[in-house]
Amino acid sequence: AEHQHARYNPLRDDWVLVSAHRVKRPWQGQLEKPPPEDVPRWDPNNPLCPGATRANGEVNPQYEGTFVFPNDFPALQPDAPEPDDSDHPLFRAAPARGVCKVMCFHPWSDLTLPLMSLPEIRAVIDAWAELATELGASYPWVQIFENKGAMMGCSNPHPHCQVWASSFLPNEARLEDRTQRQHLSQHGVPMLLEYAEQEARRKERLVVENADWLVVVPYWATWPYQTLLLPRRHVCRLQDLSDSERDNLASIMQRLLIKYDNLFEVSFPYSMGWHGAPTGPYLEEDCKHWQLHAHYYPPLLRSATVRKFMVGYEMLAQAQRDLTPEQAAERLRSLPEVHYK
């Protein structure tokens, strides 16, 4: 807890430098603006609101639950042309096709997931699973992710996430596929299933748990209050979850996100995303080395206005964090599960 050391991340096959004493240093750097507390519940000029007109001229329906639509500014399109052939191995390109969708969680702009009801969160989970099934029928990778807060690049306060399906396995997916495959081959058990069992027994990095799920600050965490959401049983994909597992997922997500908000009494920014076994052509392959999981990467370090910057040493050498995962877990674990609002 007091002396720097490096920790190995078996999921990414890399290392993180832990320097817990650095959090004591004085801060005269950038201070972030807390998110606005006065977001209107409905704004006709907000393109994600029910009945609003989006940039392409389409009018949203008067939706009352979740609402999914094609991203008006997609990073991936299904009909992109092939890149030109390379004339040198140092200048390679490859085709990249896909579709991008946006999912609104709720019709109200002033709500976030921790302030939604359990049935409303369960509806989000069901919509995620439906999209994973639909897009995964043909695409190898379906990335469900939420950027929450302007600090994490979110351009609209309305509660929503994005779903990108790609014709290729992205870098993180290829890396996790390799490391999990190697672990199963060497140890005979899926890496993250074994890891969840170890963390459930040790408890020092445990944040919340229930019958089907647990949330930990991973031993190899990079971001200050990074967490890993894990199922207790072996399950490869989001769409494979049972009804009771989906109910308990809604509950543990709500509990975690309430703790996040309570940490600095602010709508807590983060980027989160689901990782599961590849789909498309991989549906016919043996993917038992995979274990479904969700990553949460929040940037805040000391307060609602002081964030962790991944610059300098982190960009040029390796990741570095300013408090131990055990310290972060203890602080999150001790927070109340009733929202500060």
Summarize the confidence of residues 82-103 as an average pLDDT.
95
The C-alpha atoms of residue 180 and residue 170 are separated, in whole angstroms, by 16
Q: Is there a catalytic annotation at residue 160?
A: yes
> Predicted confidence band at 62 (pLDDT cuts at 50, 70, 90)?
very high
Position 9 pLDDT exceeds 90: yes
Q: One of 160, 187, 234, 289 is an active-site residue; which one?
A: 160
| Angle, helices 191-202/171-187, rounded to nearest 10 degrees | 80
- Which residues pair with residue 321 across a beta bridge? 18
Q: What is the dihedral of CA 269, 4, 208, 141, to 10 degrees?
A: 60
- CATH code: domain 38-83+91-334 is 3.30.428.10
- Which residues pair with residue 270 across a beta bridge? 148
Which residue's structure tokens are 């990553």? Answer: 295
Which residue's structure tokens are 């240093």? Answer: 25
Q: Is the dihedral of CA 150, 254, 219, 290 positive or negative?
A: negative
93 φ/ψ angles, rounded to the nearest 5 degrees: -140, 160
Token pair of 267, please? 């709508």
Residue ranges of the alpha helices (H) in the chain?
118-136, 171-187, 191-202, 243-264, 313-316, 325-333
> Predicted confidence band at 173 (pLDDT cuts at 50, 70, 90)?
very high
SS3 180: helix
> Predicted confidence band at 2 (pLDDT cuts at 50, 70, 90)?
confident
Whether pTM > 0.85 for this model: the answer is yes
The C-alpha atoms of residue 269 and residue 262 are separated, in whole angstroms, by 12
Domain boundaries, the chain: 38-83+91-334
206 φ/ψ angles, rounded to the nearest 5 degrees: -75, 135
Count CB neighbours of 20 within 10 A: 18
Question: Residues comprising the binding site for Fe cation?
Answer: 176, 275, 293, 295
Contacts of 110 (CB under 8 A, 6+ apart): 39, 40, 41
Among 24-38, 51-65, 183-197, 199-213, the range scoring the smallest mean pLDDT is 24-38
Write the DSSP assignment of 33-75 as a string of letters.
PPPPS---S--TT-TTSTT-B-TTSPBPP--SS-EEEE-SS-S
User: Tens digits of per-residue pLDDT, 255-311?
Assistant: 999 999 999 999 999 999 999 999 999 999 999 999 999 999 999 998 888 889 889
Token pair of 69, please? 């639509």
Quote the pLDDT of residue 26. 64
User: Tens digits of per-residue pLDDT, 182-227?
Assistant: 999 999 999 999 999 999 999 999 999 999 999 999 999 999 999 9
Count CB neighbours of 251 within 10 A: 18
